[in-house]
């Protein structure tokens, strides 16, 4: 019991001393992994991804992705500055790339590294729709959703390791690991992801409008 109490205390202290603030909601968020460590890793992974995939340059579509991305980034800075968050984007290194891939997807890594797949362009159909998608993906980065997911994953691993050490009986240990895996995913990680998507939708629409696009034209 003493060991379990120690694990609980460690987890509590990690959460208490590892918080950031979401500038869009004002709420505290989990930030065990600081951006000073997260961003350089994300930038390196982004460069590796670009080296391993075909980046489209010099086309109207590629130029549109860059243009829209720049407008969304300016909109984000305007909104943040207007709400007392000057300097929030100092460590962000914006980059926008169109990658040849039929997957219907786009993403933004922590720190502002953005990829649009060519497969999503027929779905978007117009620049306003691209802006709405861009706003949504950028919102994930601005709200530090990647940082929160990584931090939550670390807590999940610490809890799992702690209970594996605490439980001595092999039968109980196996049952615990199975229950923990299912419970933590369904009860914590998956709702966490759905909450991020909803938040990114709201923030993304704000950024799209501030950037001068009509969100209704994206429908």
Question: Catalytic site residues?
Answer: 137
Average pLDDT, the chain: 77
1: in domain: no
pLDDT at 117 over 60: yes
- Where does the pLDDT of residue 152 fall: very low under 50, low under 70, confident under 90, or very high at 90 and above? low
Percent of the residues in the chain that have a pLDDT greater than 70, as a whole number:
63
Q: What is the pLDDT of residues 75-110, one digit of tens each?
A: 999 999 999 999 989 999 999 999 999 999 999 888
Q: Say which residue the tokens 């060519």 belong to.
A: 118
Query: In whole angstroms, how large is the CA radius of gyration of the chain?
Result: 20
| Both structure tokens of 137 | 């993906």
pLDDT of residue 156: 58
pLDDT of residue 177: 47
Q: What is the pLDDT of residues 11-57, one digit of tens each?
A: 443 444 356 677 777 766 655 667 777 888 889 999 999 999 999 99
Task: Count CA atoms within 13 Å of residue 186 on its CB side.
Answer: 6
Q: Name the residue range of residue 138's domain.
A: 35-219
State the DSSP H helix or E strand holding residue 151, giving kind and residue range, or none if neither. Answer: helix 145-166
CB 102 within 8 A of CB 174: no
| Total count of domains within the chain | 1
- Alpha helix (H) residue ranges in 53-126: 60-82, 121-124
15: in domain: no
11: in domain: no
φ, ψ at 125 (rounded to 5°): 70, -35
Query: In 10 A of CB 110, how many CB atoms?
Result: 26
b/e string for 27-46 if b means 16 or more Cβ within 10 A? Answer: eebbbbbebeebbeebbeeb
96: in domain: yes
74: in domain: yes
């Amino acid at each position: 019991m003493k060991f379990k109490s120690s694990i609980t205390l460690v987890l509590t202290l990690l959460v208490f001393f590892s918080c950031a603030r979401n500038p869009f909601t004002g709420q505290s968020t989990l930030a065990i992994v600081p951006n000073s460590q997260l961003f350089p890793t994300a930038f390196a992974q982004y460069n590796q991804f670009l080296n391993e995939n075909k980046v489209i340059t010099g086309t109207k579509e590629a130029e549109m992705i860059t243009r829209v991305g720049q407008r969304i980034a300016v909109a984000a800075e305007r909104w943040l500055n207007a709400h007392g968050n000057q300097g929030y984007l100092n460590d962000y290194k914006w980059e926008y790339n169109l990658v040849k891939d039929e997957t219907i997807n786009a993403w933004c890594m922590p720190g502002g590294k953005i990829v649009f797949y060519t497969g999503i362009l027929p779905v978007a159909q117009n620049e306003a729709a691209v802006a709405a998608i861009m706003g949504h993906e950028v919102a994930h980065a601005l709200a530090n959703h990647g940082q929160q997911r990584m931090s939550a994953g670390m807590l999940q691993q610490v809890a799992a390791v702690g209970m594996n050490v605490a439980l001595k009986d092999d039968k109980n240990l196996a049952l615990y690991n199975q229950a923990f895996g299912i419970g933590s995913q369904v009860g914590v990680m998956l709702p966490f992801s759905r909450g991020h998507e909803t938040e990114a939708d709201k923030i993304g629409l704000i950024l799209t409008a501030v950037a001068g696009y009509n969100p209704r034209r994206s429908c």
